[in-house]
Structure 1
Amino acid sequence: MVGIALAVLAGVSLGGVKFLTTRLDHALHKANLLDNGARTGDAHLKGPLNYLLIGSDARVANPSMGHRADSIVIVNIPAGLDRAYLISIPRDLRVTIPPWPATGYKGGQDKINAAFEYGLADGAKLLSATVTNFTGVRFDGAAIVDFNGFKQVVDLLNGVDVCVDRQITSIHTGHVFTVGCYSMNGAEALDYARQRYGLPRGDYDRQRHQQQILKGIAQKLTDPSVLANPLKLDQTVRAIGATMTVDTNGVPINDLVLALRNMRAQNVNGIRIPSVGARVDGTAYNVTIPEADGLFKAIREGDVTGWAAANPKWVLRI
């Protein structure tokens, strides 16, 4: 999401990009989110790039940050820096979480999103260490996104367009999402993105819905009617900044935006990590299957595009 949220600004003139990224830079919360072992060695903008996106309802500066991560996404940007893959990690994925002496956590097998809780104030660092240990992927930056805050972003954009392919009744509000393509306001988009019960593939469908919302925001930001309204664009950019805490690995925000100026929302694709549901000692988990090793290798070696072409069943329609 770091790359996507910034790259969509590339539809503005270079002068406009500089102004907007300055505003964004001032609005963003900045923190050291990555464990040293999960971070790439050098600050650079030569692809491929990998960012860790954590969806949460809490900020880094908030003591309640210990809550479990609601979503975990690897944002892979291939060498051309003109497309991106949103690779969702199931929050119930069974992994080994490493010991974290700072909080007294001794390590062990658990659901991956528990790392965010066990790390307390350093939850993002422990989660990044866990993801790197499991996948071998190291990151060029990270972001924590307050999905509750995205309600304001969506409303500033006058809604986002989403295609619903199966009727869903919200377990939170009772709202019925009927089949079809239409605009959702902020509250509806957040509600839709959090549904997983009663869906054929449970959390896997929820991952796809979250990816749909993220792509919908990117598409709306590049709409000519938004780009032509400096006041609304400025308000939206600052609202995005207020919902995010970022670690850019030392790369200035303006440099990152300019490097990704050729990316477009239609070149954003979703990928589901090959995994299945399983019960271990009475607890429901997701566990990876052999195809996942190929995906992790492709991320490390910069060939996610090739892997996706060879494994279409794991590419999500968003």
Structure 2
Amino acid sequence: MDSENDRQPVDPAPEESGAEDARPEEPAVKRHRFRGMAGWKKALIVLGVLLLVIAGGLTGTGFYLYERYDNKVSRESLLPSRSAEDIAKSEENWASGPLNLLLLGSDSRAEEPDEESPIGERSDTIMLLHIAKARDHATFISIPRDSYVDVPAGGNWKGGKNKINSAFAFGGAPLTAATVSKLTGVTLDGAMIADFASIREMVDAVNGVNVCTWTKVTSLHTGRVWNPGCHDMDGEVALDFVRQRYSVEGGDFGRMRNQQTVVKALITKVQSSGALTNPLKLDTLLGIAAEALTVDESLDLRDLAFKVRDLRPDAIDYLTVPDTGVGLDTSAGSAVELDPDLSASLFKAVADDTVPQWLAENPQEATPGS
């Protein structure tokens, strides 16, 4: 049975939101110029529940409920035209090789447009999900949205250097996929877009979450203030918290860390609340996750869920493509410079299916809550 606190999650009032006795331990010393575990947050809120929960919840019943949720998923052409060689390679990967999926996170119900995106909608989260050939390990690899990379020609874009999230504005998911493939040298075996705003419904479906923050966060939308400490949040409050960017220490990277803590809190609550064994709660979560997803028209979700059915949380890593820590002044505005050597070695590890070994040799910096 849920506790009284779980049934009535509340957001502390601004003047009471500090919980100094609950202040989490300071993060470990930084290693390299890495942004550990950042960027995977938003799509994992939806994607992790859809893939891992649907696998655990439906595998045991022979997927007899699969059609119920598959029918709620939107389908579009999210990948660019592929050569016969790439198609054959992808088919081989689905049969017996490692899988690489493009995951995009969007915030379709954001109340205010991003003044930095005047040319149109941009993907707020860009990730590569690598599933090992043995299906015993997976890695969510975040690509900072302001990474300055080569964006192939598409739409009204003639090609050239730009921020990676501009690809979505110029040519949608297909151009983003082409950009990620060019950057990583990896053939993409599928693509998905997750609607970030679904966090509200998912948090409410598990009766709220407890989220810890390491720095003061002030909402520019509602005036809420979260001081360092732990706070009970319902869906509306959690969504307000993770949307903050300009009032957060570290800006976009600070927002990524805050969003990560919400994801971990949600996953913890899903596991502790009995949602996976409660038919009504499971049905609600699966329904929300499915309705928040748009997947490539060729992607078989049942096959994907079957392939990740044995993945455990401790066999999933979260990392970000390493950057140099240098802010670039470009014609597209301030941008992130990816570390040329470390990023190249990471992409090679993805291609060679040796990501755990790469992580062992290149440990990411610890982040709060990791």
Q: TM-score, normalised by structure 1?
A: 0.85
Q: Distance in 2 between matches of 1:267 and 1:163?
A: 24
| Residue 110 (structure 1) shift | 1.3
1:262-303 Cα deviation digits (max 9, x unpaired): 123343332121112423247311011121111111112111
Residue 246 (structure 1) aligned with residue 295 (structure 2): yes
Q: Secondary structure at the match of 1:284?
A: strand
2:359 is aligned to 308
Aligned counterpart in structure 1 of residue 122 of structure 2, from 68, 71, 80: 68
> Residue 287 of structure 1: SS of its match in structure 2?
strand
> Percent same amino acid among aligned pairs?
38
> Residue 8 of structure 1 is aligned with which of 53, 59, 81?
53
In 1, Cα distance between equivalents of 2:169 and 2:231: 36
- For structure 2, the residue ranges without an aligned partner over 5 or more in a row are 1-43, 110-118
Cα distance in 2 between the residues matched to 1:230 and 1:194: 31
Residue type of the alignment partner of 2:343: A
Q: Distance in 2 between the 1:51 and 1:161 partners? A: 30
Q: What's the counterpart of residue 168 of structure 1?
A: 217
Deviation of the 1:180 alpha carbon: 3.4
Instruction: State the partner residue of 2:161.
Output: 109
Q: CA deviation at 1:138?
A: 2.1
Q: Which residue of 1 aligns with 2:193?
A: 144
Residue matched to 2:336: 286
Residue in 2 aligned with 1:53? 103
Q: Do the aligned partners of 1:196 and 1:205 also contact (CA within 8 Å) in 2?
A: yes
Superposed CA deviations along residues 23-82 of structure 1, whole A, max 9, x for unmatched, are: 2211111122111349663331535222111111239xxxxx951111111122223323
Q: Match for residue 170 of structure 2?
A: 118
- The code of the aligned residue for 2:167 comes to A
| TM-superposed deviation, 1:201 | 3.3
Map 1:251-262 to 2 at 5 A: 251=300, 253-262=301-310
Give SS of 1:246's match. Answer: strand
The separation in 1 between residues aligned to 2:234 and 2:60, in whole angstroms, is 31
Letter in 2 for 1:48: P
The one-letter amino acid of 1:269's match is D
CA RMSD after TM alignment: 2.8
Q: Determine if contact 2:168/2:175 at 8 Å carries over to the other structure.
A: yes
Contact 1:196 1:202 in 2 (8 A): yes
Partner of residue 202, structure 1: 251
**Aligned equivalent of 1:77, options 112, 127, 131:** 131
- Specify the SS of the correspondent of 2:282: helix
Instruction: Between the two structures, name the one with larger relative contact order (CA 8 Å, sep ≥ 6).
Output: 2
SS at match of 2:334: strand
Q: 2:264 & 2:135 partners in 1: Cα distance?
A: 17
CA distance in 2, matches of 1:233, 1:84: 23
Q: Is the aligned partner of 1:21 residue 2:69?
A: no
Q: Which amino acid aligns with 1:50?
A: N
SS of 1:312's equivalent in the other structure is coil
Which of structure 1's runs of 4+ aligned residues deviate more than 6 A? none
Counterpart CA distance in 2 for 1:4 and 1:81 is 18
How far did residue 215 of structure 1 move? Answer: 4.2
Residue type of the alignment partner of 1:151: R
Asked if the contact 1:77/1:85 (under 8 Å) is kept, the reply is yes
Q: How far apart, CA to CA, are the structure 1 residues paired with 2:97 and 2:229?
A: 37
Equivalent in 196, 208, 216 of residue 159 of structure 1: 208
Contact residue 48 and residue 79 of structure 1 kept, 8 A: yes
The amino acid that maps onto 2:75 is: K
